[in-house]
Amino acid sequence: MSVALGTTRPLPVRTTPVGDPGDLLASLPRRAPYAWIRNGEGLAGWGEAARVTVPPGPGRFAWARQWLTTVFGDAHVDDAVRTPGSGPVAFGSFTFDEEAHGSVLVVPRAVLARRDGHAWLTTIGDPPLETFTPVREPGRISYGDGSLTAPEWEHVVARAAKRIREGELEKVVLARDLVATAERPIDVRLLLTRLARRYPECYTFSVAGLVGATPELLIRRTGQEIESLVLAGTTPRGTGPADDLARGAALFASTKDRHEHECAIASVRQTLTPLCSSLTTPDEPELLMLPNVQHLASHVTGRLADGASVLDVVAAMHPTAAVGGTPTPTAIQVIRELEGMDRAGYAGPVGWIDSHGDGEWGIALRSGLVQGRRARLFAGGGIMGDSDPAAELAEAQAKFRVMQYALEG
């Protein structure tokens, strides 16, 4: 169901400059907060001027863009800032599997933003009246198995590795879930604040109950310029600087992880080349060190050849080899056969788009689906022919710690 802007009359959208708002997340009310924050900058929204559940299927991104064209086209915009993210903005979360239900787009009634030295407030219609209640701790957290137990998931990893060794595919990314239950309803604002402070280099997000901090930028569009950060190949952090250095060197020298990363870069290059007049990918990855893990990372930049919006680029890129596998169609089928769960928005595109087609979208990693006292946490990793199930389980456990920290502090 959608509520379109201006079904009887165009509603006014007003963007005005404001002074430095400080902590953007401190402005969020309890109900339905939306967020996209990195290093203290980004967008925080609340209220709903328009919302739609995107129908599943291969044409879902085109459907979403058409809906946005209608919604944004029905608005009278007074934008005194005129920068990417000002004016009306939609936050979105798309399911990993195109056939799964649950993709959503929301245009908040209010967005407070700070980017590149500018700060602004966008409101749609009358300013929304919200109650800014104090943030409350969720109390004691207990954990239970998700769709599969740890031994069952290790068995799935072993089956996938066997199929890779038999030549069916090169790589598949397998995920697992963990169910967290709290004593009291989980306040999303608390999770966002903890994630943004502990993982400032990641993109902390909240869209329709999907909350997390992803290190992976799927695509940023600013005019015709685009940027992507590809992550594939992971190792846990060490016990100290020397151990970190040794683990990073081992990751960089790992044949398995380097091949996994090369598959991911090749996937992005193949997808973006037809859309771009120029595209630059590095010859060698670099090490990205986060508080819980280290990744092999590659920055990709380019210039679009035509007027494609950021959502068009998202449609072309998702799913990447970094979250699906190689070759991707085969990997998706293997995921459907073996994984034993619905990923929902995990590993799907999450982010925002403005009325000019600019925006930032990440891959919803290190995340959880929050509803009331319950949170369904997700983690996964790339499986190759020589993958060790116990090591893959340990990697997933390390990735769970991001959302466990958000819940427990």
Q: What is the DSSP string of 124-137?
A: ESSPP----PPP--
* CA dist., res. 37 & res. 60, Å (int): 26
Paired residues of 78 in beta bridges: 14
What Rg value do the Cα atoms of the chain yield, rounded?
Answer: 21
CA distances from 211 to 123, 242, 309, 314, 374 (A): 23, 33, 25, 19, 13
* CA dist., res. 233 & res. 223, Å (int): 31
* CA dist., res. 409 & res. 401, Å (int): 11
* CA dist., res. 95 & res. 314, Å (int): 12
* CA dist., res. 13 & res. 74, Å (int): 10
For residue 230, give both structure tokens: 């590809």
99 part of the active site? no
For residue 92, give both structure tokens: 């979105």
Determine the Cα angle at 264 with ends 336 and 366, to 5°: 65
Residue from 216, 339, 392, 395 carrying the catalytic annotation? 216
First to last CA, the chain: 36
Residue written as tokens 């769709």? 147
* CA dist., res. 78 & res. 138, Å (int): 40
Residue written as tokens 């990641």? 202
171 part of the active site? yes
Burial class (CB in 10 A: 0-12, 13-18, 19+), 214: buried
Chain-centre distance of CA 143, in angstroms?
Answer: 23
Q: How many CB atoms lie within 10 A of CB 393?
A: 18
Beta carbons within 8 Å of 389's beta carbon, 6+ residues apart = 154, 155, 157, 158, 161
* CA dist., res. 319 & res. 224, Å (int): 22
* CA dist., res. 48 & res. 331, Å (int): 37
Residue from 171, 260, 339, 360 carrying the catalytic annotation? 171
Query: Which positions are catalytic?
Result: 171, 216
